[in-house]
Structures are given as structure tokens and as C-alpha cells.
Chain A
């Protein structure tokens, strides 16, 4: 099979460009075969022996559609240009091949699993691309910024190099901010036996601290018995899952779940993030041998749905004007929270305008799967590679798009900027804070 003809702008990435120089044919062969023989088994083998090369997966991919149906972006092409030759040639592929495989798997596929739903055989194409990433990770061929994020996970057990004191300090600062709205707001640290452990992703204390203040107000209004860990284990995010560093992934997830066990909580509620949910609910536990998290994990969408449905939180004034939503792949297609997301959107918005396609059929934001974490060098391709998302959002005529996921949030913001959509991008909790009723006895 001839390699696919690809046209791409030249992108400089220090880690990839330096990494490729250090590859030797022996090392490539050893790693490829070790991963294929020892880290994959029935699924990969069956997928390879079942794929009939029909190309029906192409239409699933936002990269493919947005790039004017450039065949090099079709999911099956990404498999053809990566894992097929690796297996066919028993690892005898060259350094440039590995470089291209790294670029494909890390920066041209958001492992969103939409294509799996288009395959008549149910071949999990994203799984195969993750195995390609695994091979690249073991060959030190991970894009610089993604690798740096993984280094942060490995060194600090959080995504953003947040130091232990900065974490607690930020929570205490945000607690004070929240007390400006509701004087008894609190972020209870290390409260053993609380009902809920609330966990977030590293970027919240780093860049979006107000979300921590918001949650403390929401928890107070909803009268929840909750806590947050003061020590490592508070971060539920996991870029190591996406870089293919499954050992670090597992270490991070183990700490997160053992922190919940240590605090003796009944459940973990996590903030608005999709990949973190996937890592904490599925990929991490699976590697560790847990069918599901040992202490049940609830995504923010489910949590807010329950609070609104049961009347623990009442809405004082709904958000005016048309508001639309982005379905984060990892909690909607890969978790089935599409209906609950619509329930909460309708609960706080006067005029919720749905997107089309929606729910599990919705397009990925193109930032997920670690793609946005590959950083500035790869941004242009990522944003331009999701024109259909811009078109889809534009059709709604909404003034605001709600993204209950951090990667979606950043990715959609880039899309809104680049395609000049003139929309606000918000987390659901930001709308909820605006719309919810704060009982008189709690007010400042």
C-alpha cells in the first residue's frame, strides 16, 4: 500500500524534531513489537482482521469534513498510515514514519470515538490510534507541550505544575471571594466522612480560579456535605492517558481514587471536564483493574441535573436570549449524558437552542484527546480543522455556547475567535451562578 499523499504546513515541535534524531531502527523495531505483542491482544488483532477497508468511517470525522474531505484526514487513512505498516513490517519502519505517525495520532485525531460509531463492525479506531500514541510515547515522540504536561502529572500529580501550597492558598482565596456572595461559603478541606469529594483539573486553580469560588457558593446554596483534598490527589485530569504514558496515567488515577477512599466519601463529584471524566471513570480504572472507580464518580452535568431536578437549587431568573451547547464527547457520546445536559440547559436558559447534529452524534471540539495540549505549534491546524463546528454553532444564532468541559471550552473559544462567531463561551456553572436563587438567609 502506498503511503498517503499529505499536504501540511511545516510545524516545528522541539520534542518531535529532536526525538526523531534519536530514533534508531533497532529501537523502533523493539518498541513497536513489544507494544503490539505484549500490550495489545484480541481487540487489535480482531480489528485488523476485520477491517474491510470500506472507508465508511470517513464521514464521521470533523477533521476530514472540515478539510474539504482531504483523504489524509479520514480515520481509516490514519490507521493505514500508522499501525498497519508497523504490524505488516513487524516494526521495521523508519524514523520519519514514526514522526508522521506521531503527528497523525497526536495532532490530527482527537480520539473522540465518533468514527467507531460509523463503522459497521464497531471497530474502535480511536483505540488503535491510542496504541499508536503508546508506541510514540515509548519512543519519546510526544509533542513538546503535551509531554511537558505529562511531566507535570508525573512530578506533581497535577496537570499544571501547581505546587502544594499554591493549591491550598488558591482554595482559601476563592473561599474568601465566595464569602462576598454568601458569607458562610466554605471550601471544606480534608473533611473525612463528607458525602462528596469534589475534584477538579489543574487549570482551575491555575487559570480559572473563580470556578472554585463558584462551586463553593453552589455547594452552600444546595446544602451539600462536601470536601476537597488539601493534598495531591485533588487533580482528576490526565494528559498521560492521551500521551500514551499509561504508567503515569495509572499513578495519577490511583492517587485520585485512593484520596477519595482516604477521605471516606460516598462519591466523587468532578468539575466540568470531559477527558478527566474519561480518565477517572474508564481508562485509569481499567489499567488498574477496576471495572469502574472504586468510589463512584459523578460528572458535574449529572450533579447539577440532580440538584435542579430535586429542587436543591432553584432558578431565580433564567438566562435571556438564545444559548446553545457543546456536547463533550467523553461525557455524552462516551457516557450518555446528552439528555441530562439538555435538562439543565433548559432549566437555566430561557431560549436553549440545540445544535445539529447533537448529543452523541455531535462533532468533537477538536481540542480534546490531548490535541489542544500539543500547544501553540499545532493550534492553527486544530482550529482550521474544525470548520464544521464553527458552521454548526453559527447556525444556532446563540449569543453564548455552554461547554461543560475544559478542553471544549478552550477549543470552542479558539473556534469562536478564528471564525469570528461573536459568541461567549461559558461553563455551565457560570450560568448557574447567574441564574440561581440564593435564599435570603444565606445572602451577604
Chain B
């Protein structure tokens, strides 16, 4: 079982993730072309300005207004992406499989990052349940997406600390990670793929066409 999820299934997940992402971005670009104005409205300068103001914490007034949310969301997303990517264990697996590797972080640090992701997810869950606006627009898909996102981290944490049934936990962890990879292109987790495009389009339209700013 372990060999299957770690081997062929992982490969399939990666292929679906990359191919799916490329497909979805291509589909989006095709749609953008059909929208006829989108590419004419794009501007590198205003795209960059928008990204600078929205990718650096507290670099726009909305983030400054919501300090807790800003801290949580940045910590959550940074740890979510960086943690798994720079975890020694993951890199070793990739090296074994495809003979490529890169620099890694200390395991303790990644462990703490995992905690941050889990805590962030808890925060988002709490918001979904308590904030009337968010609650009103939340349906099962939102909980499922949150679960898909956080499950690899919870299982990874449990497995790493060998809290119980290490082998089973490891398999579940790998499976959870694979589900997440597969889900990214085809669910609203694709905001990971589309963020740069929606952000830069809005920035470009605001700057180039409307002579204003989007931050």
C-alpha cells in the first residue's frame, strides 16, 4: 500500500496537478481572450504595483485595518506553501524518485510551520462558523476545501511525531497530500493559480485604464 501511494499514485497526482494547472490556466487565458478587452487592459507596470501592494503584508490600508486577519492569512499561506516544499523528508522522496533535490529547512521549523497552518485553518473555520457574512456564503464545499487543505498537515504532524500508527498515518498523509494536489486545479483552491491573474488584471485596469489605484 505504502509503495503504491508513494510511487505510482504520487506520480499520477503530480501529473494531474501540473497538467491540470496548465489546462486550467490555458482555459482561463482562452476565456480572457474571448473577453476581448482583457489583454489590451494589461500593463506590466500596474500589475507589478498591484502585486507589491497585495503581496507584502500591511502594504495597503485594508490589511492595516485587519491586522489579525492579515497576520494569520500571510502566516497560513506562507507556511502552507514553503513548509512542504522545503521539508527534508519530501525533498528526499523526490530525490529518490526523480533525482532532483534542493535546499531544505530544519525539521523543527517546518514542524512549527505545520502548527501555524493548522492553527490558521482553525482560525478560518472559526470565521466560517462565527462571522455572519462568511457563514451565510459558506456551504459544504467550503468545509471540504478547508479539510482538503489542512488534512495533509494534520496527518503529517501526527505522523512526524509518531503519535500513533505511524505507517497508517504516513499512508493517509501521502494520500491527503495527493488529494490536495489533484484538487488544486479543479476546485476553488485554484485561487492559488488564478491569484496572480485576477490581481494583476484588476491592478492593470485600475491603473492603466482608470488612472487610479487598487490598493
* A50 and B211 form a contact (CB under 8 A): no
Interchain CA distance A262-B36 in the complex, whole Å: 28
Interchain CA distance A53-B131 in the complex, whole Å: 12
Given A53-B137, A361-B61, A46:B28 Cβ within 8 A: yes
* B212 and A122 form a contact (CB under 8 A): no
Which residues of B lie under 8 Å from residue A59 when comparing CB positions? 65
Q: Which of A4, A120, A335 contacts B212 (CB 8 A)?
A: A335
Q: Which of A41, A49, A282 contacts B34 (CB 8 A)?
A: A41
Is B195 among interface residues, defined by CB-CB distance under 8 A?
yes
* A50 and B195 form a contact (CB under 8 A): yes
* A122 and B50 form a contact (CB under 8 A): yes
Is A52 among interface residues, defined by CB-CB distance under 8 A?
yes
* A291 and B202 form a contact (CB under 8 A): no
Given A50-B195, A53-B142, A334-B210, A41:B31 Cβ within 8 A: yes
Is B40 among interface residues, defined by CB-CB distance under 8 A?
yes
B1-42 interface mask toward A, CB cutoff 8 Å, 1 = contact, 0 = none? Answer: 000000000000000000000001001111111110110100
A229-247 interface mask toward B, CB cutoff 8 Å, 1 = contact, 0 = none? Answer: 0000000000000000000
Is B168 among interface residues, defined by CB-CB distance under 8 A?
no
Q: Which of B30, B69, B136, B137 contacts A42 (CB 8 A)?
A: B30
Using C-beta atoms within 8 Å of the partner chain, give the interface range for chain B: 35 or more
Which residues of A lie under 8 Å from residue B120 when comparing CB positions? none
Given A71-B132, A122-B199, A122-B214, A53:B138 Cβ within 8 A: yes
Which residues of B lie under 8 Å from residue A45 when comparing CB positions? 27-28, 31
Q: Would you give the shortest CB distance from A354 to chain B, in whole angstroms?
A: 16
Interface segment among B84-92, B108-116, B158-166, B186-194: the answer is B186-194
Which residues of A lie under 8 Å from residue B133 when comparing CB positions? 55, 58, 64, 69, 71, 74, 76-77
Interchain CA distance A40-B209 in the complex, whole Å: 20
* A80 and B136 form a contact (CB under 8 A): yes
Interface of B is mostly: helix
A367-407 interface mask toward B, CB cutoff 8 Å, 1 = contact, 0 = none? Answer: 00000000000000000000000000000000000000000
* B139 and A46 form a contact (CB under 8 A): no
Is B83 among interface residues, defined by CB-CB distance under 8 A?
no
Using C-beta atoms within 8 Å of the partner chain, give the interface range for chain A: 35 or more
Which residues of A lie under 8 Å from residue B191 when comparing CB positions? 49-52, 121
* A122 and B201 form a contact (CB under 8 A): yes
Total contacts A-B at CB 8 Å: 134
A331-345 interface mask toward B, CB cutoff 8 Å, 1 = contact, 0 = none? Answer: 011111000000000
Q: Would you give the shortest CB distance from B89 to chain A, in whole angstroms?
A: 29
* A50 and B190 form a contact (CB under 8 A): yes
Is B58 among interface residues, defined by CB-CB distance under 8 A?
no
Given A1-B137, A41-B35, A118:B190 Cβ within 8 A: no
Interchain CA distance A336-B211 in the complex, whole Å: 5
* A49 and B194 form a contact (CB under 8 A): yes
Which residues of B lie under 8 Å from residue A333 when comparing CB positions? 212
Is B152 among interface residues, defined by CB-CB distance under 8 A?
no
Interchain CA distance A410-B38 in the complex, whole Å: 34
* A42 and B211 form a contact (CB under 8 A): no
Q: Which of A40, A69, A76 contacts B137 (CB 8 A)?
A: A76
Given A42-B38, A50-B188, A121:B212 Cβ within 8 A: no
Which residues of B155-194 have CB atoms within 8 Å of chain A's CB atoms? 188, 190-191, 194
Is B126 among interface residues, defined by CB-CB distance under 8 A?
no
Name the residue in A45, A59, A120 with the highest tally of chain B Cβ atoms < 10 Å from its Cβ.
A120
* B212 and A334 form a contact (CB under 8 A): yes
Which residues of A lie under 8 Å from residue B69 when comparing CB positions? 56
* A77 and B31 form a contact (CB under 8 A): no
Chain A, Cβ-Cβ closest to B185: A49
Chain A, Cβ-Cβ closest to B208: A291
Q: Would you give the shortest CB distance from A73 to chain B, in whole angstroms?
A: 10
Q: Would you give the shortest CB distance from A196 to chain B, in whole angstroms?
A: 20
Interchain CA distance A118-B62 in the complex, whole Å: 7
Q: Which of B32, B132, B145, B198 contacts A122 (CB 8 A)?
A: B198
Chain B, Cβ-Cβ closest to A361: B61
* A116 and B202 form a contact (CB under 8 A): yes
Q: Could you list 11 further interchain pairs (A-B, Cβ under 8 angstroms) beyond the known A53-B138, A122-B198?
A: A42-B30, A45-B27, A50-B195, A52-B142, A53-B188, A55-B137, A56-B69, A77-B137, A120-B54, A122-B201, A336-B213
Q: Which residues of B contact A (CB under 8 A)?
A: 24, 27-35, 37-38, 40, 50, 54, 61-62, 65-66, 69, 73, 127, 131-134, 136-139, 142, 145, 188, 190-191, 194-195, 197-203, 205, 209-215
Closest 7 A/B residue pairs (Cβ): A122-B202, A42-B31, A42-B32, A41-B34, A55-B133, A336-B212, A55-B134
